[in-house]
Amino acid sequence: MTGIIVAPDLGTELVDRSGVFTVDAADTRLIECNCPRKLGNGCGGIDLNKLPQEHRAFELRCKEMGNRFIRQQKARGYEWVSDLVVHGPFQSYDFANTMQDADSGQWRNMRRSKEDGMEHPEALLPMVFERFMHLADYVVVGKFLFKDTMTDLEAPVGN
């Protein structure tokens, strides 16, 4: 016999979400938080509303990327609740151009082949790259509300 279980309303949770955007490294002079210097874990990031006027172009770029980040999170079910802060700069991985799909053929070719029963990690060498010195990554972090949802599928026990 199948039983019905009613789950309580799980409510919403406050979560931190982060994203990365890339800029030209020459544009990052004098604009950094304490993270790249490793001055402790309590880095509060860069408050974009407190930047001096000479960094207005950087502020506008960060706000543009922050708004894009908020829209992307909204599509995933997250509701933005507080100001965004920016951490960085860090040496860039240029994720926009170097991200790879873990389900791609290269990953399948690396796994055990039927011919020799061995893994072939050398098939992944085209995915290996150095960090880019002429680019810098910033991490944008914000607080979002997320509505917890849970779906339980109950299978009948016995017959």
Structure tokens at 59: 């502020």
Cβ-in-10-Å burial (0-12, 13-18, 19+) of 46 comes to: buried
Q: What share of the chain is helix, strand, coil (3-state, %, to 5)?
A: 30, 25, 45
For 81-121, what is each residue's pLDDT tens digit?
988 899 989 889 888 787 777 677 766 666 666 677 777 77
SS3 of residue 20 by DSSP: strand
pTM of the model: 0.71
Residue position matching structure tokens 């926009």 = 96
